[in-house]
A and B are shown apart, each in its own frame.
Chain A
Amino acid sequence: MPTTSASSITTPPLSSTTSDPILDRLASSDCEIKLKSIREVKNKIIGNRTKKLSYIKLGTVPVVASVLAEADANSDSGANLIVQSAAVLGSFACGVDAGVRAVLDTGVLPRLFNLLSAADEKVVDATARSLRMIYQSKLAPKCDFFLEKNREFLLSLLKNENENLTVLGASIVIHSCETSEEQNILCYAGVLEKIIGLLDGSLSQRDACLESLATILKNNPEAVSKFMAHHGGRALNSIIELTKDRYSRTRLLACLCLICVKNSSSCHLQDLGIKTKLVYILLELLDDPGQVGDEASLAFSSLIAEKEDLHKLAFEANAIDKFYCHLQKSSSNPRRLEGIFLALGDLCSKLECCRSRFLTLQVLSLVVDALVHDNADVRKAACICLRNSSRSIKNLSAGHFMNESIVIPLVQLLSDLSISVQVAALGALSNIVAGITPRKSVFIQCGGIKGLVQSTKSMDSSLRLNAVWALRNMVFHAEKTCTEAVFMELTASSIANLIHDPESSVQEQTLALVRNFVDGLIDFVEYAFAEDGIIFDAVVRRLRESSKAEIRIQGIYVLCNIASGNEFHKEAVMHQLFPEAEDGSDSFFNQCLQSNDSRLSTAAVWVIVNLTNPTSPGAFGRVVKLRNFGIVSRIKKMVNDPCMDVKLRARMALDQIPIGES
């Protein structure tokens, strides 16, 4: 059996104070009375969630499970009891988590699986239907496909002539197959062949086939290769045909299947025709008012995510307008809203034309409204949509995003109960405050700086990273009042700590933040020397200790910016880079100068350009020292560097070194 435990059925004693007389009759020893009672329960609860919950509270589920467990499948009366009990248990489990839990807690699952081999076809059908209801729930136990007996059982279901059994087999695959190892083992066990055989079956079988196929192929190039090698052409053509089926759910599942194949293959389904077809079908499926419409946008996202060519196709198909129309229809369905925001976010992730259309249609106001939605997934999706649509320096500069109606709810989300919502809000804010955007004061007045700084102190590294990132973007060419406000709130000691954060990505963003602090007016260089120079010391220490290029690039630019200051600043940099006691040949700075990463070597040469700036009084003395450390001869070699920027900066530095010194 593909269940993980075979515990005995647990039946709590019926309370003598049960309020429903049906339950008293369930306890009767008379089969006819019991059967009638079970039918009554069934008729009361079918399609009625309130009644289901009410009867679950009364302890009905274990009683019914017990009836099913004790009934004799080989007798007529027993078979009838089993059929009705199975229907009741299935009904309790259908769409009600509490019902699924109650059924599973009774330990009846193994008995249900046993009954699949009963002689009586009605028993088999009823049991299979009941199990299908249970396996629609995330709470159902996962089947361990690594056990051969489970794979054999699964195959026996899939090749059975009984439709209920084949669909149950597919449901178990859909529910239990998650990892690539599980996908592969099912492929090699021959499960793919059996599932593909269901493509020619009934509606339920076709839908189950499509869904289970997608589950096995998703994100697994190896599984897709195997599928295409052995079944590809014919099966794929059948699935493409099913995208035109009259049932919307079948069309959706067919699209999902094709998307799985396309995304895991570099050569299949890559032609413009099929891409266009998928875009148009999914946009049309948005019109379905039910679950199909909810899922269509998520399918759309998985089709287009990260693929600029598909964004263009979708744009030309007026996808943004269509999603906007659906947003405007008052729909409180959180899943649908989440899907639409994620799809709009994907559409705006790369192309400026999509972002322009998004702004023109004023979708922004609807996205902003969703920032205060009850559902965390909707709030998160709205933040992601905002982040992607604000990924445009042109629109940021025009001030489309820096206003109170957007900033206030985003800042409030920094205290959201959900960490992932906080991270998503930080992502959106880090764009909105970026660049030389007008009116950053709006953000300050909304308490934005306090919120960001608070997030930099979080135990969660994603929050720290995104908060520092936002601060970095904010300080880029900010007005003096803004920079001062950030520095005062953050403090020098906090910055120094973040430079030594356990996460290198946080270190990198902090160094970039410091780089921005010390840019701009020459006075700003003093930020690095606040509190006895702890920031400056931390930067140098990080440079010495880290060999990561990204960290060194930011750190060297901090030194470069400091070295563009006055004599004191230049000498401070000299002292750290070229200490008297060392010969400097294997210093971190020499490593940067000689780096294969031209971004780093360019940054290092800029430090030298600044240190040898001839308008500075101490330049000559520094040139002598640089020559003694071998830097001048190193720079001379760099004039032939293959990277043009390195070459030109080296020449710039040498032009500043007096004749006779170079």
Chain B
Amino acid sequence: MPVRVLESSTPSQVSGANSGQTSFQACTLLGAGQAFSGTQNVSSLQKDEAWRVNVRIQGCDLEHGYLCGTMEALNVPMADTPVVTFWEGEIVDAKNYTFFTGKWEATPDDDIRHWTKFSSFSPLQAQVEADGGKSLDLSNYPHIFMRWKEQYFVNVGTDCGLTIAGFYYVCFSCIDGSISGFYYDPNSSPFQKLELKSTNEGRLGFSFSSYELQ
């Protein structure tokens, strides 16, 4: 199983990007340190199964449409411990990345098929099908669309029997910090769903920390 994508994660750049487009506004619930927990449905024809999943955002660079984090899968049958992976995300902002993936064996049809599974994508669908969503102003939209691609296993070897060949289509709600996603891998069961909620980790409210690289 490939541990990480060996080619560089070249962005699905908008050619002739509109440099005058409004830059993305931050959403405090999608910042470094924020944690989410929920489940990943890994059902196949043979069985129904769901893993508990914890996600933590580790870095967020809105200007470049980039974020990254870790994903911890609990109660994985073939693993003795929770399995942690490091992932990188592309934020669909019509500046750095569009709704069309352009790599990872995902065709435009695959893209539309997945994005339409998010109800919050409906108002945008017509424009995306017409021009790829280039003229959309997503900066004020209360949902953020992303692709998350796991890059490597943090705490297990590549012989753990798991694959990270695919990627997730992700929709984040700025309203309540909930996340839903669909895993895409031509060699895996389709539409395996990821559902996460923002977690307060035992607190009676929301807490935010920060770091800054020099």
* Interface, chain A (partner B; CB < 8 A): 353, 356, 387, 390-394, 397-398, 427, 430-431, 434-436, 438, 466, 469, 472-473, 476-477, 512, 515-516, 518-522, 557, 560-561, 563-566, 570, 598-599, 602, 606, 609-611, 613, 615-616, 643-645, 648-649, 651-652
Interface residues as binary, B21-52 with A (CB distance below 8 Å gives 1, 0 otherwise): 00001111000110000000000000000000
A110 to B167, CA, bound (A): 77
6 cross-chain pairs, A with B, having the tightest CB-CB distances, nearest first? A610-B205, A564-B205, A393-B59, A519-B209, A476-B211, A564-B203
**Additional pairs, 7, CB under 8 Å, beyond known A519-B208, A520-B201, A520-B207:** A353-B8, A387-B214, A438-B154, A560-B206, A563-B205, A606-B28, A610-B204
Contact partner of A391 (CB less than 8 A), chosen from B58, B140, B214, is: B214
Instruction: Tell me whether B207 and A476 are in contact (CB under 8 A).
Output: no
A521 touches B201 (CB 8 A): yes
Expressed in whole angstroms, the minimum distance between the Cβ of A631 and any Cβ of chain B is 16
Which of A387, A398, A438, A520 touches B152 (beta carbons < 8 Å)? A398
For window 185-204 of B, CB contacts with A under 8 Å fall at: 200-204
- Find out whether the CB atom of A391 lies under 8 angstroms from the CB atom of B213: yes
Q: Which of A390, A645, A651, A652 contacts B26 (CB 8 A)?
A: A645
B59 touches which one: A394, A565, A598 (CB < 8 A)? A394
Tell whether, in the assembled complex, residue A565 and residue B203 are in contact, meaning their CB atoms are under 8 Å apart.
yes
User: What's the Cα separation between A4 and B176 when bound, in Å?
Assistant: 72
* Inter-chain contact A435/B175, CB cutoff 8 Å: no
Contacts A/B (CB < 8 Å), 12 sampled:
A387-B214, A391-B213, A393-B32, A394-B68, A394-B88, A397-B86, A469-B214, A516-B210, A522-B201, A565-B205, A613-B204, A649-B28
B152 surroundings in chain A (CB, below 8 A): 398
Instruction: Give Cα A563–Cα B206 distance, bound, in whole angstroms.
Output: 9
Bound CA–CA A516/B31 (angstroms): 14
Report Cα–Cα, A512/B209, bound state, in Å: 8
Q: Are B28 and A431 in contact (CB under 8 A)?
A: no
Asked if A427 and B214 sit within 8 Å, CB to CB, the answer is yes
Query: Which listed residue (B59, B154, B207) contacts A561, Cβ 8 A?
Result: B207
Q: How many A-B residue pairs have CB under 8 A?
A: 135
A515, B209: Cβ atoms under 8 Å? yes
Chain B residues with CB below 8 A from A519, complex form? 33, 207-209
Docked CA distance A367–B32 (Å): 29
Chain A residue with Cβ nearest B140: A644
CB pair A557 B201 closer than 8 Å = no
Interface size on B, residues (CB 8 A): 37
C-alpha spacing A512/B26, complex, angstroms: 18
A563 CA to B213 CA, complexed, in Å: 27
**Bound-state Cα–Cα, A392 to B9, Å:** 15
A384 nearest in chain B by CB position? B214
A557: which B residues are within 8 A, CB to CB?
Answer: 208, 210
Contact B213 A431 (CB under 8 A): yes
Contact, CB under 8 Å: B202 / A394 = no
Alpha-carbon separation in the docked complex, A466 to B214 (Å)? 9
* A649 to B, closest residue via Cβ: B28
The CA-CA distance from A476 to B210 in the complex, in Å, is: 6
Complex formed: what's the CA distance from A230 to B122 in Å?
61
Cβ of B208: which chain A residues have Cβ within 8 Å of it?
Answer: 515, 519, 557, 560-561, 606
Q: Are A436 and B70 in contact (CB under 8 A)?
A: yes
How far, in whole Å, are A549 and B26 apart by their CA atoms in the complex?
17
Query: Cβ of B209: which chain A residues have Cβ within 8 Å of it?
Result: 476-477, 515-516, 519-520, 561
Picked from A392, A613, A644, the residue with its CB within 8 Å of the CB of B205 is A613
Task: Name the distance in Å between A445's Cβ and chain B's nearest Cβ.
Answer: 21
A394 CA / B85 CA spacing, docked (Å): 12
Flag whether B98 is at the interface (Cβ < 8 A).
Answer: no
Closest to B26 in A: A645
Contact A645–B25 (Cβ < 8 Å):
yes
Query: Shortest Cβ distance from A610 into chain B, in angstroms?
Result: 3
B101 on the interface (CB 8 Å rule)? no
- The answer to the question of B54 belonging to the interface, with a C-beta cut-off of 8 Å to chain A, is no
Contacts of A512 in B (CB 8 A): 210, 212
A645 touches B27 (CB 8 A): yes
B142 at the interface (CB under 8 A from A): yes
When A516-B209, A609-B205, A610-B204 are in contact, do A435 and B28 touch as well, CB less than 8 Å?
A: no
Q: Counting CB contacts under 8 A, is B95 at the interface?
A: no
Q: Are B33 and A476 in contact (CB under 8 A)?
A: yes
What CA separation (Å) do A387 and B213 show in the bound complex? 9
| Distance between Cα atoms of A610 and B214 in the complex (Å) | 31
Chain A residues with CB under 8 A of B201: 520-522
B33:A393 contact, CB within 8 angstroms: no
CB distance from B167 to the nearest CB of A (A): 16
Residue numbers in A under 8 Å from B178 (CB-CB): none
Q: Is B174 close to A, CB under 8 A?
A: yes
> Are B28 and A436 neighbours in the complex by a CB distance under 8 Å?
no
Chain B min CB distance to A535 (Å): 16
Q: Are B86 and A394 closer than 8 Å at their CB atoms?
A: yes
B59 touches A435 (CB 8 A): yes
- Which interface residue of B25, B68, B200, B209 has the most chain A CB atoms within 10 A? B209
Closest to B88 in A: A394
**How far is B200's CA from A516's CA once the two chains are assembled, in angstroms?**
15
B212–A615 contact, CB under 8 A?
no
B68 surroundings in chain A (CB, below 8 A): 393-394, 397
Q: CA of A599 to CA of B62 in the docked complex: distance in angstroms?
A: 15
Please report the C-alpha to C-alpha distance between residue A299 and residue B151 in the assembled complex, in whole angstroms: 37
Chain A residue at minimal CB-CB distance from B175: A648
- Which residues of the partner chain A approach B154 to less than 8 Å between Cβ atoms? 397, 438
A560–B210 Cα distance when bound, in Å, is 13
B151 touches A434 (CB 8 A): no
Which of B28, B33, B205, B213 contacts A477 (CB under 8 A)?
Answer: B33
Docked complex Cα distance between A477 and B212 (Å): 13
Most buried by B among A394, A431, A516: A394
Tell me which of B27, B32, B211 has the highest count of chain A C-beta atoms within 10 A of its own C-beta.
B211
Q: In the bound complex, what is the Cα–Cα distance between A323 and B68 (angstroms)?
A: 30
Q: Say whether B114 faces chain A, with CB atoms less than 8 Å apart.
A: no
A564 near B26: Cβ-Cβ < 8 Å: no
Indicate if the CB atoms of B203 and A522 lie closer than 8 Å: yes
Task: Give the chain B neighbours of A431 by CB distance below 8 A.
Answer: 213-214
Is A616's CB under 8 angstroms from B204's CB?
yes
Scoring A436, A518, A598 by chain B CB atoms within 10 A of each residue's CB, the highest score goes to A436
Chain A proximity of B197: nearest CB distance (Å): 14
Given contacts A393-B58, A394-B86, A606-B28, contact A434 B213 (CB under 8 A): yes
A518 CA to B88 CA in the complex, in Å? 28
Q: Kindly name the residue among B32, B56, B151 whose own CB sees the greatest number of chain A CB atoms within 10 A.
A: B32
Contacts of B203 in A (CB 8 A): 522, 564-565
A515→B33 CA distance, assembly (Å):
12
Whether the pair B214, A609 counts as a contact (CB closer than 8 A) is: no
Q: Which of B80-95 contact A (CB under 8 A)?
A: 86, 88
Contact yes or no, B174 A648, CB < 8 A: yes
* B204 and A473 form a contact (CB under 8 A): no
Say how far B73's CB is from chain A's closest CB, in angstroms: 17
Shortest distance in angstroms between A398's beta carbon and chain B's nearest beta carbon? Answer: 7
* Nearest A residue (CB) for B8: A353
Contacts of B206 in A (CB 8 A): 560, 564, 606, 609-610
CA A610 to CA B175, docked complex, whole Å: 16
